[in-house]
Structure 1
């Protein structure tokens, strides 16, 4: 009896060979994150489109909001306010205050709100907590 054996060559793939881990530049991350913010519920669709996990996109979105990804600085800042006394109007010719006075507010997430000027600050704070949660 003769013992002959044949071996088939085996090719071994390591993690470096596969190339599974990609390195995204900050510009690419910002572009992907901004695309995920367009429209309603675009996070999952954008993650699938670029072949990344939703959790990674969520991490990038959080960094973008915090300003550590290179996106716009969404942190609060103070704006100088100057109040001047109004010139005295002639008696008898003053118009009643307008009930239709409105204030336009643009939020850091790109949404715009138009609110009545008479809206109490507590109502505005509750509205902002819903529209732009942080």
Structure 2
């Protein structure tokens, strides 16, 4: 037997729930909000960990952070931003290995992995560098410059 829902309200309530006590919604004082947001910017813990410790959802904390940033931008001073510099190469330092007193170790010859043919392949002092096809010209130039600088 199917019942049409067009007559909702005519029939009596099947189930009634009454909630007592405090609900999940809380009213946070502004001082508490600011201290929690400041704690989330400390960098000692993740934002999710700060939110969990204060029994709140991370999305709520992210909203508070966004609102605080908007308020501060409207008032004038902005949050300090960390300047991002250009990416840098770290020089590779190779030290000669000391000969061990143990006798020669027999090794099986390494099998070369089959890979797609590289656009640029450099081998210097037994170190091979392969740059795949479609690589940016600036990347190739930067790799070559880094290799020249280490010689």
Please give the range of the TM-score, normalised by the shorter of the 2 chains.
0.3 to 0.5
Looking at both structures, which has the greater relative contact order when contacts are Cα pairs under 8 Å and sequence separation is at least 6?
Answer: 1
Q: Give the TM-score normalised by the residue count of structure 1.
A: 0.42
